[in-house]
Amino acid sequence: MAPGYFRYCAVACAVISQYGFAAGTLVSEMSHLNVGTAGAGTAALAQGASTAYANPAAMGLLKEKHFALNLATMALDIQYSDNRNELMDSDNAGGVQPYGSIYSVTPLSDRYALGIALTATGGSGLDYGNEYAGRLGLNDLSLSVMQLNPSLSYRLNEKWHIGLGVQIDRAQFEQRFLANQAEIESSSYAFGYNIGATYQIDKAHRLGVTYRSKMEHQLDGKLSLLNQEGETSIGLLNAARMEVSGLHQWVEPFALLWSIGQEYWSENEATVIEFGHRTVTKARQFDDVWFASLGGQVALSDKLSLEMGVGYVSSPLDDPSLQSSDVPVDSQMKYSVGAQYRLSRTTHLKGYYSYVDYGSPQIDKGLMNGSFDNHNQFFGVEIDYKF
């Protein structure tokens, strides 16, 4: 093997082992269409075609065929402040990213319903530039994950519905580092499943539960460095997720919604990077996170209803020596509002807005010693048509 290749391997492994890549970024607001309630009620609601993704069991509660289109934008803001010198700060590394999804639910009989969802389940686009403290580890990256999720619902009796789906992911990842002298391009498919159930306590109260399996990607591609190229492979994990939700309509026209659950990020112990015959492991040591949200819907008329909600997600990591600029993580607070308008008997229009505070994680690793200030905003419009 040529000496230049050995030099390339040594430099690449040194950089990769110090900084770490692609921890995984599942963004629930990108795939669930109850953003206006901060996620409250996700597993219990059955208000349109997006039920195909939220909880396959709840599709059995829809008596007509539904099709929905979601068009949305997220505005991510991530800023790094260095504790030693403001010249090593970064401007906003986030930006505006449009995305969309489509959903369909078709009742097959009085017991079965078929659904399909094509959604953006996660991703990010970061650009820190080439002036901040961590420029050797990360300059910019782009990660997008799309999922195809066909599913089937079955009615056990008047109170119970169950559902099962198959998850098919396509991920694409690009990153530049080493002061823009190195670049990774890679892609991957991954497969998993999701299951759910709903229980109709009575006409005014319903419970739902869902579980989505973890999705393990092996991002295969190429690493370009010092005018040379080599094959590379990076592990990417999106954690399994369990959620329990409730819908309670004690008093017309108000409905109370809630959700509580857990995401199993402790399985994301490390990011594994393979280059040539070398393997490098970047410690993550994430903890499992729990989340909760509380919201409500109120019908102002037979055409217009409003919704709102707040949510909390615990932090998967509190150790500054394990933070990374690719995914600086902390606890989250969510504040959301939305509105639904019935254009006709068959067509409903929904608009929503959510502000998510991603916290201020501290980092003390490698050349970085400082803190981040992170938040995100989501704007979206969904149209649901039944026929």
Q: Where are the domains of the chain?
A: 3-386
* 110 closest CA partner among 149, 60, 150: 60
Two structure tokens written together for 225: 């460095």
Residues 47, 312, 322, 135, CA torsion sign: positive
Residue with tokens 């008997």: 345
pLDDT of residue 291: 96
Q: What's the angle, vertex CA 254, arms to CA 248 and CA 260, rounded to 5?
A: 40
Residue with tokens 């959604």: 119
Q: How many residues are there in the chain? A: 387
CATH, range 3-386:
2.40.160.60
User: What pLDDT does residue 20 have?
Assistant: 47
CB 239 within 8 A of CB 26: yes
Q: Look at residue 277 in the predicted model and tell me its pLDDT.
A: 73
* CA distance linking residue 362 with residue 330, whole number of Å: 9
Whether 286 and 269 have beta carbons less than 8 Å apart is answered as: yes
Position 365 scores a pLDDT of: 86
pLDDT for 352: 96
DSSP 9: H
Name the phi and psi angles at 7, rounded to 5.
-65, -40
Residue 18 confidence (pLDDT): 47
Q: Which residues contact 269 (CB under 8 A, 6 or more apart)?
A: 283, 284, 285, 286
**Chain centre to alpha carbon of residue 86:** 32
The angle formed by the CA atoms of residues 222, 229 and 132, to the nearest 5 degrees, is: 75
Tally of CB atoms within 10 A around 345: 7
> What b-and-e string marks burial along 160-196, b requiring 16 or more CB atoms within 10 Å of the CB?
ebbbebebebebbbbbbbbeebbbbbbebebebebbb
Give the C-alpha separation, 373 to 77, whole Å.
Answer: 8
Instruction: Tell me the C-alpha distance between 330 and 311, whole Å.
Output: 14
Per-residue pLDDT of the chain (387 residues; tens, 9 = 90+): 444 554 555 455 545 544 445 545 557 777 777 899 999 999 999 999 999 999 999 999 999 999 999 999 999 999 999 999 999 999 899 889 898 999 999 999 999 999 999 998 877 788 998 989 988 888 898 888 899 999 999 999 999 999 999 999 999 989 888 888 888 889 999 999 999 999 999 999 999 999 999 999 888 888 887 777 888 888 888 889 999 999 999 888 999 999 999 999 888 777 777 776 777 777 778 899 999 999 999 999 999 999 999 999 999 988 998 888 887 889 999 999 999 999 999 999 999 999 999 999 999 988 899 999 999 999 999 999 999
AA identity, residue 126: L
Calpha distance 384→116 (Å, rounded): 14
